[in-house]
Amino acid sequence: MRAQTGTIRAEPAASRHAQPGPPAESDTGMRHEIGRGNGAEFAVFRTGMATSSGPLLVCAHGWGQTHEALLPLARSMARAAAPVLVDLPGFGHSPPPPAAWGNAEYADAMAEWLTAMPRPRVWVGHSFGCRIALALAARHPEAVDAMFLVAAAGLPPHRSPARRARIALRRWAYRALRGLAPEGPARERLRERFGSADYRAAGAMRPTFVRVVSEDLTDAARAVHCPVELVYGERDTETPPEIGARLQALIPGARLSVLQGLDHWTVLTEGQHQLAFRLAEFLKCLS
CATH number, domain at 132? 3.40.50.1820
- Domain count within the chain: 1
> Residue 49: inside a domain, yes or no?
yes
Contacts of 182 (CB under 8 A, 6+ apart): none
Q: Is the pLDDT of residue 182 over 50?
A: yes
> Residue 69: inside a domain, yes or no?
yes
Give residue 143's domain range.
25-157+208-286
Bridge partners (DSSP) of residue 259 are 233
Q: Is the pLDDT of residue 286 over 60?
A: yes
> Residue 244: inside a domain, yes or no?
yes
Per-residue pLDDT tens digits for 12-67: 333 445 555 555 443 457 889 999 999 999 999 998 665 567 899 999 999 999 99
Pick 204 or 159 by higher pLDDT: 204
Tell me the average pLDDT of the chain. 85
Per-residue pLDDT tens digits for 22-32: 554 434 578 89
> Residue 15: inside a domain, yes or no?
no
Pick 3 or 213 by higher pLDDT: 213
> Residue 202: inside a domain, yes or no?
no
> Residue 89: inside a domain, yes or no?
yes
> Residue 13: inside a domain, yes or no?
no
Please compute the mean of the pLDDT values over residues 71-85 and round it to a whole number.
Answer: 95
Assessment of whether the complete model's pTM goes beyond 0.85? no
Q: What is the DSSP string of 195-225?
A: S-HHHHHTGGGHHHHHHHHH---HHHHHT--
> Residue 175: inside a domain, yes or no?
no
Helix (H, G, I), strand (E, B) or coil at 123: strand
